[in-house]
Homo-oligomer: A and B are copies of this chain.
Amino acid sequence: MSSLVQNSYGKSRVRLTKVARHPDRHDLKELCVDVHLEGDFSASYLQGDNRLVVPTDTMKNIVYVCAKPHALASIEGFGQALAEHFCRHYAQVAQVTIDIVEQPWQRVTLDGNEHAHAFIGTGPDRRTCSVVLTRQSLRLESGLDDLLLLKTTGSAFSGFHRDAFTTLADSDDRILATSLTARWHYTQPPADYDQCQCRVRRALIEAFAGHRSLGVQQTLHALGEAVLAACAEIEQIHLRMPNRHRLLVNLQSFGLDNNNEIFVATDEPYGLITGTLRREH
């Protein structure tokens, strides 16, 4: 009566903490890993024949087993090692997807001295990566989630389409706030994923701060260009910028001016602007 036109399965939210105990200091990594497989699994769907099914519990075990010898220098490197493990061990697998989010921990620093084994949680922005490995191809994407940025001036929005449904006034000076998400691909693997991530983050912050915005769309494009300029290894970048509105509060009823001073932050509804820039060669 039906055909099974797509199927996948996996284990989500495998949480891994690894401590590297060096003589003079400890290093700490905390990751949350998702594993998903596609391949020759239709018998489990159609007949309940599980012979080719690698249990999701086994996937969880493999995350820990692979983490033991791995240096975890970057989530991209670990994601790729994990994906390769699944392809190497399981002939029935056609495609492995590994998604990783890193919990940000910063070494405690006291009077300029780095502490050997104490860490403080930071954020809210977090590093992510996604690895999709098949028998023929590898697709690796690095990312950054929830980078909160706000500027109190240098942002306008005017000259937009007006019609019977428009009530928004032009603004030549508004607060611009966003919780930015970025995802990017490399032309070729960078020498150092961490250092590349830092350059991306810095380029985004610097471009956001310095850009005179005529709209979120234009700012998004400027941020994408800044990243491509800062990181020659990056081929393409996708940006997602929710517009976290700060609305001017009307104080006239109380006999008060409001010269762009007092605002209310609203979570919903919110604008959502996306775009993808690809490097021209």
Contact = CB atoms under 8 A, between A and B. Distances in A.
A205 interface: yes
A20 B12 CA distance: 30
Given A15-B268, A242-B12, A263-B17, A57 B159 contact: no
Contact of A3 (B34, B242, B277): B277
Nearest to A212: B48
A16 interface: yes
Contacts of A73: none
Nearest to A265: B15
User: Interface on chain A toward B: helix, strand, loop, or mixed SS?
Assistant: mixed
A204 to B, nearest CB: 10
Interface residues of A, number: 135
Copies in the complex: 4
Contact of A160 (B51, B149, B225, B236): B51
Contact of A62 (B4, B148, B159, B165): B165
A73 to B, nearest CB: 15
B280 A149 contact: no
Contacts of A249: 64
B268 A4 contact: no
Interface stretch (A130-138, A191-199, A214-222): A214-222
A149 B118 contact: yes
Given A2-B277, A218-B47, A9 B272 contact: yes
A134 B276 CA distance: 21
B28 A152 contact: yes
Contacts of A164: 254
CB-CB nearest 7 A-B residue pairs? A121-B148, A48-B214, A118-B209, A13-B268, A48-B218, A56-B271, A17-B263
Interface of A: 1-21, 26, 28, 30, 34, 36, 41, 44-58, 60-62, 64-65, 67-68, 89-90, 92, 105, 108, 110, 115, 117-125, 147-154, 157-161, 163-168, 175, 179, 205-206, 208-209, 213-218, 220-221, 224-225, 228-229, 236, 238, 242-243, 246, 249, 251, 253-254, 256, 258-280
10 contacts: A4-B277, A6-B274, A9-B216, A10-B271, A12-B272, A19-B152, A49-B159, A118-B149, A119-B150, A167-B253
